[in-house]
Structure 1
Amino acid sequence: MNTTPPKTSHDLEDQKEYHYGLRTIMELFDIGPTVAITVLSVAFLVIVGGVIAFFRSAPPSTINFSTGPEDSYFHKTALRYAKALAKNGVKVNVHTSDGSLQNLERLADPKSKMDIAFVQGGIRDRDLKTENLVSLGGVTYQPLMVFYRGKKIELLSELTGKSVAIGSEGSGTRKFALRLLGANGIKEKDPGTTKLLNMDADDAIAALEKKEIDAAFIMTESASNDDVRKLSKSDEIHLMNFKQAAAINRRIDYLNVLEVPEGAIDLGKNIPDHDITLVGPMVELIATNDLHPALSDLLLDAAVEIHSRPNLYQKRGEFPTPVEHAIKLSEDAQRFYKSGKSLFYRNLPFWLASLVSRFVVVFLPIAVLLIPAIRFVPVFFRWRTQMKIRRRYRDLLILEEKFKNESDPSRRDVLRKHFERIDTEISKMRVRAAFANEFYSLRGHVDYVRTLMSKRFA
């Protein structure tokens, strides 16, 4: 027993509208229902995928910046980046650290969720995998300073037998200090009579002032510029002049030779009272390789604003600069250094530039590829239908010509049976309205050949 409820007039009207709409698309694009539904479905899925990609490609509104100890130069500079990016609606979470090595460790560890960090050039750790990291270029020089008490020291080997603060674990200061001391015969595992103390900048400065240690390696990754100026102005604490700076640079090429001219710290008091030569690495902005291109541009734009001014160790416009050491320069950074910010971000507000650039990147390729592809579908099926009709025309023309020139009745009978097969095949052809003229013309040719053959058989 059929329990299916009868269709109402509304159901029938909806079905008519559905078929009418589909028929309109079929007639408009000259395609069959299956092809029409398939094309529409594929186009819909592609557009939905484009919409999803459009929203997913939006630059994040928050990034994490690993810096250095609180109040250090790294930390204070990162706060300036945060202020610059906040103007464009991007929040920068500034995270303190022990220094460059810990920053690099955080970036290499996806679980830390760090996006960007200051890292001194030359900082390496064989156990760290840095393939997922890129450099945005160098942003400043950072001198490695040795402050000491007592008689004049110009060679690191003269620290033998003294108590020396070499920086805290995870800092670049400690890495460079051990590298230089090792080159002067003072090894970490066998320092001899020298005491190598793992101390952060604040503790080292305090211990030096209290005469608890003889010397300290200090870098502004963990110390503030104010602390460095305070030590430089002290009558009892001296800043070591690296007499072998050029030789150090030859052996350790990532340690640059830096000059502090006489009076550069305090002109009035003439501090220092002589030119001092230091060595130090270049500081790089290191990021994860999935950093959004828009954020890369914002960070480098901020770097130009923050680091392009002259200071004690650099000339105006010297930074940021497209250099790379162990970590390759990102493609986005290379493009920025060559041509600046991309067109949209150069001329539009950040939020609008983000929308326009994503629209161009996502939907323009879809339009360029999808529209021709959709237009090709009816062209292909039109060509295929035309070929079918022309093939039948060719068969009829050949048959007609053979029949006219054939005098053998048995051969004519074979040709007639062949004609009947062609006629049957043509009658089964399904042709859309766009090809009605050609199809009925073909049927007229069939009738003409039928009439011709009937006369010959009569």
Structure 2
Amino acid sequence: MKKNVRQHFPRVVRDHTHAMWRDLAVSFLPFVVLFAVLAWLVIWLVDPAPPHTITISAGPHDSSFMQYAQEYRKILGRNGVTLNVLESDGSVQNLNRLLDPKQRVDVALVQGGVSAGRDTTSLMSLGTVSYVPLIVVYRGKGLSQLSDLEGKRVAIGREGSGTRMLSLELLGANGILPGGDTTLLPLDGLDAAKALVSNQVDAALLSGDSTTRALILRLLTIPGVSVMNFNEADAYTRIFPYLDNLDLPIGLLDLRRRIPPEPLHLISPTVELVARSNLHPAISDLLIEAAQEVNGPAGLLQKAGQFPNSVAREFRISEDATRYYKSGKSFLYRTLPFWLATVVDRLLVLLLPIAVLLIPALRLIPALFTWRVRSRIYRYYGALIAIERDAMRSSSEEERAKLVAELDGIEASLNTLRMPLAYADGFYVLREHVRFVRERLEGVRERAHARQ
């Protein structure tokens, strides 16, 4: 007999342990669902994952803008982000693409001066990345100001380029307007250089928006081609606030051949890396980091570390860019690979709401578990009370037999009830109460028989 009890005992423990784990699972389930929903809301709405692919609108294929964008693409690629580079006509088209919600463009290189009169509140700047000086090259010598180009053939850049927009504004300030005596041709880059060398144009206004610096340097080494000295550079920078004054010393471009042969004054807008306001902060950091690597070293027109910078120009500086320029990359992004850092960063965002809910939840779960287990016992007491009351009011043997049958049903149900062992005391108290009601019912039946 003892052997049978010992063999039966482990099975009983397993049955009741299974019931306990089931109750625990059901008690935890609402909180697990709540945390899952909260995590989804935080991750996808509050702190979405950075995209794996973004698009930049650069410039013509033979422009410094395109060169910058291609270098950015390589750097972002090292961090697992694909940068699609779109060729464009220049800054004007770049800005139009950013402002058009139908265009899938996230960031663009935009030259100063092209946003006048445009609503750019939906855009933000990641910083100024370079100068793009306006170079006026012409055949012959003696050109001292833009007004001297009146009546000549002048290449001013293709439609949609920042070079063209800047050229028209500066020429207009000197009294040269489209439709007048001056022939304004939509040529830039290599096309403008070829036209100048072949005497198809008398002058060309070139800038990095649509021309590489190497091409400008080659032009200056061609006999008979000169560059105009902006003697009124200070005046231009005051009339047009987006322009800067650049001074090139003798021989800066070529010491052996003394190019330029005399100090050269130039005017130059700056280029901003402009993005839509919904650009992910992690991508913003990557782009600024790429700009530091590409545009940060010292060059002919800038000192080391001069670019990129957070000087406000035509677009508001984004909060993420301001934070980056002040303190650099966060600890996570400095120490972990980019995509691992983004995952950890987003998980940290979850800690606060989880901590707020976890403490009261941990207090509530035991109470919920206890209520669920004891509710299995308590639900029988309503039936027991009803049977006991009906027994006191019953007047026929048939009614009392029906009450006994109900009581038998309760007891049969209890025989199949599984309870965690920690709550077995309540289970056995219930059985005692069932026995108590049965005894009262039997007492009523005996008294009824005695009266008969």
TM-score normalised according to structure 2 size: 0.73
Contact kept? 2:50, 2:283, Cα under 8 Å: yes
Please state how far the C-alpha of 1:129 moved relative to its aligned partner.
3.6
Aligned to 1:160: 150
Aligned to 1:176: 166
Equivalent AA in structure 2 for residue 368 of structure 1: A
User: Structure 1 372/144 Cα, relative in aligned 2: closer, same or farther at 3 Å?
Assistant: same
% identical aligned pairs? 44
Does residue 367 in structure 1 map to residue 354 in structure 2? yes
Please state how far the C-alpha of 1:376 moved relative to its aligned partner.
6.4
CA distance in 1, matches of 2:58, 2:324: 23
Please state how far the C-alpha of 1:377 moved relative to its aligned partner.
5.0
CA distance in 2, matches of 1:83, 1:316: 21
Aligned to 1:269: 257
CA distance in 2, matches of 1:124, 1:376: 58
Contact kept? 1:310, 1:316, Cα under 8 Å: yes
* Structure 2 counterpart of 1:305, from 280, 287, 293: 293
Aligned to 1:46: 35
Equivalent AA in structure 2 for residue 158 of structure 1: D
* Structure 2 counterpart of 1:88, from 61, 79, 83: 79
Contact kept? 2:63, 2:189, Cα under 8 Å: no
Does residue 73 in structure 1 map to residue 64 in structure 2? yes
* Structure 2 counterpart of 1:209, from 197, 205, 212: 197
State the superposition RMSD in angstroms: 2.6
Per-residue Cα deviation, 1:383-425 (whole angstroms, up to 9, x for no partner) = xxxxxxxxxxxxxxxxxxxxxxxxxxxxxxxxxxxxxxxxxxx
Aligned to 1:256: 244
User: Structure 1 178/380 Cα, relative in aligned 2: closer, same or farther at 3 Å?
Assistant: farther
Does residue 247 in structure 1 map to residue 239 in structure 2? no
Per-residue Cα deviation, 1:50-90 (whole angstroms, up to 9, x for no partner) = 14753682211111111111131111111111111111111
Equivalent AA in structure 2 for residue 176 of structure 1: L
CA distance in 2, matches of 1:376, 1:119: 57
User: Structure 1 379/17 Cα, relative in aligned 2: closer, same or farther at 3 Å?
Assistant: closer
CA distance in 1, matches of 2:160, 2:32: 54
Gaps of 5+ in 2: 1-13, 369-422, 427-452
Aligned to 1:426: none
Equivalent AA in structure 2 for residue 152 of structure 1: G
User: Structure 1 84/304 Cα, relative in aligned 2: closer, same or farther at 3 Å?
Assistant: same
Return structure 1 stretches of 4+ with deviation > 4 angstroms: 14-25, 375-381
Please state how far the C-alpha of 1:123 moved relative to its aligned partner.
1.6
CA distance in 2, matches of 1:378, 1:72: 65
* 1:48-447 correspondence runs (5 A): 48-51=37-40, 53-54=42-43, 57-126=48-117, 128-188=118-178, 191-361=179-349, 363-375=350-362, 377=364
Contact kept? 1:122, 1:325, Cα under 8 Å: no
Equivalent AA in structure 2 for residue 364 of structure 1: L
Please state how far the C-alpha of 1:195 moved relative to its aligned partner.
1.2
CA distance in 2, matches of 1:345, 1:356: 10
User: Structure 1 343/201 Cα, relative in aligned 2: closer, same or farther at 3 Å?
Assistant: same
Per-residue Cα deviation, 1:317-353 (whole angstroms, up to 9, x for no partner) = 1111102222110111000000001110011111221
| SS of equivalent to 1:112 | coil
CA distance in 2, matches of 1:198, 1:64: 27
Aligned to 1:30: none
CA distance in 2, matches of 1:135, 1:360: 27
| SS of equivalent to 1:364 | helix
Please state how far the C-alpha of 1:109 moved relative to its aligned partner.
1.4
Gaps of 5+ in 1: 1-13, 26-35, 382-432, 437-458
Equivalent AA in structure 1 for residue 354 of structure 2: A
Contact kept? 2:154, 2:185, Cα under 8 Å: yes
| SS of equivalent to 1:111 | coil
| SS of equivalent to 2:165 | helix
Aligned to 1:452: none
Please state how far the C-alpha of 1:199 moved relative to its aligned partner.
1.9
CA distance in 1, matches of 2:176, 2:359: 72
Per-residue Cα deviation, 1:23-73 (whole angstroms, up to 9, x for no partner) = 558xxxxxxxxxx86x85255133244147536822111111111111311
| SS of equivalent to 1:143 | coil
Per-residue Cα deviation, 1:212-253 (whole angstroms, up to 9, x for no partner) = 111111011211222111111111111110010000011111
User: Structure 1 276/51 Cα, relative in aligned 2: closer, same or farther at 3 Å?
Assistant: same
Please state how far the C-alpha of 1:174 moved relative to its aligned partner.
0.8
Aligned to 1:427: none
User: Structure 1 47/146 Cα, relative in aligned 2: closer, same or farther at 3 Å?
Assistant: same
CA distance in 1, matches of 2:174, 2:58: 30
Per-residue Cα deviation, 1:91-133 (whole angstroms, up to 9, x for no partner) = 111111111111111111122111111111222153x442221
TM-score normalised according to structure 1 size: 0.72
